[in-house]
Amino acid sequence: MTKDISQRKKDHLKLAQDDSLGFNISAGFENWRFIHNALPELDLKDVDTSTTFLNKTLRFPLLISSMTGGTDEARSFNSLLAEAAEHMGCALGLGSIRPALEDDSTRSSFLIAREMAPDAIILANLGIGQVISGQYLLNTINFCEDLQADGLIIHLNPLQEAFQLNGDTDFSGGLKAIETWVQNFPLPIIVKEVGQGLSPQVIDRLADIGVQYVDIAGAGGSNWISIEGARLPDGQLLMKHTAKAFEDWGLPTVDVLENLDTDLFVIASGGLKRPLDLAKALALGAQLGGIAGAVLKPAGAGDLHGTLTLLETWQQTLKIAMFGTGIKNISELVGNRTILDRMKPATRQQSEKGQS
């Protein structure tokens, strides 16, 4: 892996923890609240948060979303996340495996995940630029065999590339390239954005070529436009200034969920910041929720206990939210908007009263 790519990976981990580089808009989960059921007709101990994904059982429907790989720091980071995923029975997405495909010395930073999580669902990850190039298919198949991956994420990131120094901005033929991989890759393929969202129209185009899994990755979480803008050198002032105009570009995650009409398996990531957001995402139609920023700080600090505590809180919150709405299992929760109430915007009079 070249020195600049290695530095970029390090910068990404650091800058992703900088709250000042986030969105000014939210993912939208605060616009919904659960309708409390005072007669749930359930015993809390009978509430089941388990689900099935890629022919494996998860203790609860959570994906630790792709973050990094390819550096010495990433090896220990992925090791901790894999150990946490194995312990908690959730899924793990790795950062782009491009470094491992181009430099054998970086392979261990990814392969450590399967060593630490022999039974967990582990997803490899590759950018659309490499998929379009047509040079990575065989190597990706071989590497996924070594990793014993359960699936491959193909990430779409046009605006991130637009603001990345020397970014790959040629997305011509992207849909056809994905179709080729869907037809020839031996593992399930999940197509995701990196934080600007998949529109219903794009999801329909993906469905038409045989994609069965999407991660909508909407706006409201990590903001890769702002992160790349912050990385630009002073000699790129035009692009640094232009990045400011796009700092809230994208489709908020909840907006995508509210307008979803698809039979595809939907993962909702992007701005799931509070444990209840996972339950809301599922009730709005997602089958799985993805988090990255929420787990980044404890994992980045090497705090396994803190990471496990965080994930346990998300799982327990989901369970009690289901109990509090009279929902016994995940299949009853997914897409069940009858247990949700859309918050009404406060009137000016109500707002003034609240401030008095």
Say which range, 32-36, 156-160, 294-298, has the weakest mean pLDDT. 294-298
**How many domains does one find in the chain?**
1
- pLDDT above 90 for 343: no
Per-residue pLDDT at 224 exceeds 60: yes
Q: Looking at residue 107, what is its pLDDT?
A: 95
pLDDT at 189 over 90: yes
**Separation between Cα atoms, residue 141 and residue 110, nearest integer Å:** 15
Q: What is the pTM (predicted TM-score) of this model?
A: 0.93
State both tokens at 228: 């790349």
**CATH code (residue 322):** 3.20.20.70
Task: Find the Cα–Cα–Cα–Cα dihedral 203, 23, 35, 280, rounded to 10°.
Answer: 40
Instruction: Decide if pLDDT at 39 tops 50.
Output: yes
Question: What's 312-351 look like in SS3?
Answer: HHHHHHHHHHHHHCCCCEHHHHCCCHHHEEECCCCCHHHH
What pLDDT digit, counting tens, does each position of 89-101 carry? Answer: 999 999 999 999 9
Q: What is the CA radius of gyration of the chain?
A: 20
When pLDDT is cut at 50, 70 and 90, the band that residue 351 belongs to is very low
Residue 165 backbone phi and psi in degrees, to 5: -60, 125
Per-residue pLDDT of 100-119, as tens digits, reads 999 999 999 999 999 999 99
Provide mean pLDDT across the span 127-146.
96
Residue 164 sits in which domain range?
3-355
Residue 286 has pLDDT above 90, yes or no: yes
The HSE-up count of residue 263 (CA atoms within 13 Å, CB side) is 3
What is the rounded CA–CA span in Å between residue 146 and residue 30? 42
From residue 229, give the alpha-carbon distance in Å to each of 143, 160, 244, 252.
32, 9, 8, 20
Question: What's the rounded mean pLDDT across residues 65-81?
Answer: 85
Which is more confident, 319 or 21? 319
Per the CB < 8 A criterion, the answer to whether 156 and 128 are in contact is: yes
Higher pLDDT, residue 9 or 290: 290
d(CA 54, CA 38): 35
Q: In residues, how long is the chain?
A: 356
